[in-house]
Amino acid sequence: MPAPRYNRGMLRPSVVIVSPALAAANNGNWQTARRWRQLLSPHWRVRIVQHWPDENGEDAFMLALHARRSADAIQAWAQAHPGRGLVVVLTGTDLYGDLANDREAQRSVEAAQRLVVLQELGAAALSARLREKTRVIYQSTTARAPLRKSAARLRATMVGHLRQVKSPETLFQAARLLSERDDIRIDHIGEAEEPVWAEQATATQAQCPGYRWLGPLPHAQARQAIQRAHVLVHTSAAEGGAHVIMEAVRSGTPVLASRIPGNVGMLGPDYEGYFEHGNAPALAALLVRCREDQARAANDPAPPLLERLRAQCSLRAPLFAPETERRALLQLLQDLQEPS
């Protein structure tokens, strides 16, 4: 859609993005807020806050990430601007957890003029009444050329802070099942949010020569690790729309993912790289299959699994292009300006 136009000298309307996490957290909510500010800034005045109202004056629109964690700001906006300019973005644990029993999250979605979900199955978790005001906006990232990768072994990478919803124990168990394979290497990137996860990761590393816990890395280094990997592993129990999946897809790196709505909504229902959530033997079997197909690919006329997964991801890649996300955001704000 065309960008909004303003006469010279006109002050562009302000958009406030409320995020429960800021730059220090370097998590999905912050990455979304930062990217949306970048995409919208040529057309709107945009700032990111954790709390609203603040001292920065009048805003035309609020984009609030997470129904429960941003609930105070959402309710403050609803009281100050009833029926106007409020978008609540359902980013994961609110969509697939809080909305069932958390009153603050429920009040947030009721107050919003628009709801945003980050993948195509997100709206299915909402009531029919709420789906009427829901929009799908896929997150985006720049494309990166695939890197050359060694055929001597399979390198799998998992990226995500170690916490319960990410199900790191599934990766630990799979690594143990593969501990005698010297041709499958697993790199695990992310900060342990509780000591128990650090202990388990350290113990797995000691027992499994092919597994390495690298701890938290800057986003640029994590992205490079995804580029270098033959596959990204994603074991989560719930996701609103995982950044690492789109980053892998836009880097030519196939994904092995738990079969949950947030992942299926990004990769599509017919994708071949799923395993049931928590099923470590199934994940290990997929890694072995990828490695064995990789090893025999040169002499086999049938497309190996890795090549099929790469082709399927390539078909999804345009969904995660920055221009696609920018158009969707501009259309969202235009819709909010028009009378209901």
Residue 185 backbone dihedrals phi, psi, to 5 degrees: -115, 140
Q: What token pair was written down for 171?
A: 């990766």
Note whether 172 and 39 are same-domain residues.
no
**pLDDT < 50 positions in the chain:** 6-10
d(CA 331, CA 298): 47
Structure-derived torsion over alpha carbons of residues 96, 219, 190, 24, reported in degrees to the nearest 10: -80
Q: b or e along 93-129 (b: 16 or more beta carbons within 10 Å of the residue's beta carbon)?
A: bbbbbbbeebebbbbbbebbbbbbbbbbbbbebbeee
pTM here? 0.89
Q: Quick check: is 101 in a domain?
A: yes
Provide the pLDDT for residue 3. 56
113 in the same domain as 55:
yes
- 1 assigned to some structural domain: no
Q: Would you state the pLDDT for residue 150?
A: 87
Dist. CA 104–CA 69, nearest whole Å: 9
In this structure, is residue 2 part of a structural domain?
A: no
Query: For residue 246, what are the domain limits?
Result: 154-317
How many domains does the chain contain in total?
2
Residue 9's pLDDT is 45
Establish whether the linkage from the previous residue to 146 is cis, with ω within 30° of 0.
no
Residue 149 resides in a domain = no
If asked whether residues 295 and 184 sit together in one domain, one would say yes
* Predicted local confidence at residue 4, as pLDDT: 57
pLDDT score recorded for residue 276: 98
Are residue 133 and residue 158 in the same domain, yes or no? no
